[in-house]
Structure 1
């Protein structure tokens, strides 16, 4: 009896150790979402248990990763984009991945072994009904937004805590030039600009479409399609629209990367998850779960994106090396210009 009990204890301990060794910790932003059956299928096929850690907006997620780099809380990070990647590299919190997905051509390359998963466009969104009711013409340039007619109409997420906020700031610098951009931001402050912590607050609290008081919001080119997709009643057209203004569109590429100092026993599972994110089922599903365009070449587009979320023909991204060098300085100058 004693021998049998001892064997059972050893077996239980072995099973617990196996579970611990096959746990994969994935840090993501709050907008990460894939169908539960897809995630469950990955767990079965890879023999791992996924632990998805939501870290807030992408900017907050990266801050959390940096603050815990001495004792990493994750083995993988998803959602660091090209606006935040320079900061992640400078902080030394990610490692390159060299598997098949990193070698495969992509329409949205990030480089250095960071594997692109999707791409999209940060742009201004407007509430069509609000502008129609007020009889106000849509702005045709960023300069229009600094004019009295558009006072108190725009809400933006903070560049230090929001990936789309950081992306939009970079677009203005690339499109208007550094001095021109910060002059524009100063004029916007005087014209009633509102700044909030992140995209969710901007879109779901401050945007007039969702009961707020601001009919112009920094969001995504796919947001109008999402409005149609989630509407309780069928819609022939979206109640919102994207404004692709010069200096107001940033091409955002989201990627997945290994976390430096992550659990070595989870590296194989981490690589399998990276490959999983570039698989055809995930590339299809993310279009209507995370509302981004697929990174995998040749991936079929969701019909709602084809109808209501055309990709802009122009965007303004600063050169990656310049963004890497100037990111902190730009952010600090933005705070001094807009908030102090």
Structure 2
């Protein structure tokens, strides 16, 4: 028994020693990789790509421009870019700044030139042609630049808005065309914006030129003045300061946009079935404003600028336009929010004047209007 136990103990000792030796070998193998493995690991580390540098691109706009952060983030993520917004005043002021700096542009892309300034912008020869893939989904009536340097991005109709409740309370019908505004029953009811200082004010002046012609528009304004029209410097002063549906003012008629009723519903605490305001858009009473965007010559980010302009016309950006700026997207593929479908209007017969005619006569019309009305 003692011999057998001794033999057993000897065998067990040998096994334990062998096992320890193998464990030690395993540990050494784990902690000390072979030269070839170390080399492969080193190669892998060397080949790890550096983070791409984020490129900045500047978009020059008017002060009313707005876009959702999550929408612009789509472009920034796809192109590893950062969009810088340069707000440069109203549309006319922003265009002036772009023209004065065209030899050393302040931005890469410009957004917000409308058809009242289009010819002036094109005459400055500062935009690069860009036949965007999205233009096939834009109505031809919005494409006013054959060179494709300025592409249509949105549009809206400037027209008379009226306070539904006021007219119901006074048992009166609202006007249906421009000619109605000079009738005695509407005396003292209308507030407008000065066309020399307001974009919708200028659009309304152009609507009257289109409707009555150069020989007749001043006669219309003469009668409108006799009918006690009120003139303010800008849209905010007229709409939020004098319009009875949106303020404590006593004027139930105001020059605004055909999409303003949608804004009234959208911002209402309790959503009404019908907007509290209506619009007058028949018989050439509404002037269509079209806004354009283009790539500024001299950009140092041409490829990225082209991508940004395409993005501005893409359904993703275009669908964001209505509830950001309360105008209609130019791209017909963009979805419209329900509130726009139900409460925003588009005239079927807009007042029209060519950009060239506006450019050559704008100063004269403004001068004649100012002399008569102020």
TM-score by length of 2: 0.77
Secondary structure of 1:155's counterpart equals strand
Residues 1:59 and 2:95 are matched in the alignment: no
| Aligned with 1:189 (options 213, 225, 232) | 225
Distance 1:30 1:253 in 2: 16
Offset from partner CA, 1:180-225 (integer Å, 9 cap, x none): 1111112222322223333233222232222133221111111111
Alignment counterpart, residue 121 of structure 2, candidates 78, 88, 100: 88
Paired residues in the alignment total 318
**292, 299, 306: which is aligned to 1:255?**
292
Change (3 A) 1:97 1:159: farther
1:66-215 correspondence to structure 2 within 5 Å: 66=99, 68-69=101-102, 72-90=105-123, 92=124, 94-101=126-133, 104-107=136-139, 108-111=142-145, 112-113=147-148, 114-211=150-247, 212-215=249-252
Is the partner of 2:172 in helix, strand or coil? coil
Q: Aligned with 1:256: secondary structure?
A: strand
Residues of 2 paired with 1:338 and 1:67: CA distance? 32
Q: Work out which structure has the larger RCO, using CA pairs closer than 8 Å and 6 or more positions apart in sequence.
A: 1
CA-based RMSD: 2.4
Q: Equivalents in 2 of 1:167, 1:240: separation in Å?
A: 20
Partner SS, residue 331 of structure 1: helix
- Residue 302 of structure 1 corresponds to 337
In the alignment, the residues of structure 1 paired with residue 126 and residue 205 of structure 2 have an alpha-carbon distance, to the nearest angstrom, of 24
2:28 is matched with none
Match of 1:273 in 2: 308
Task: Go from structure 1 to structure 2 and tell me whether the alpha carbon gap of 1:102 and 1:243 turns closer, same or farther (over 3 Å shift).
Answer: same
Could you report, residue by residue, the CA deviation over 1:246-302 in whole angstroms, capped at 9, with x for unpaired residues? 3421122111122355xx213332222111111111111112222222211333332
TM-score of the pair, normalised by structure 1: 0.84
Residue 176 of structure 1: how far off its partner (Å): 1.2
CA contact (8 A) 1:95 1:257 kept: yes
> 1:289 and 2:321 equivalent?
no
Q: 1:228 aligns with which of 256, 265, 275?
A: 265
Q: Which structure 2 residue ranges, 5 or more long, are not aligned?
A: 1-50
Quote the offset at 1:70 in angstroms: 6.0
Q: CA deviation at 1:241?
A: 0.7
C-alpha separation between the residues in 2 aligned to 1:170 and 1:260? 31
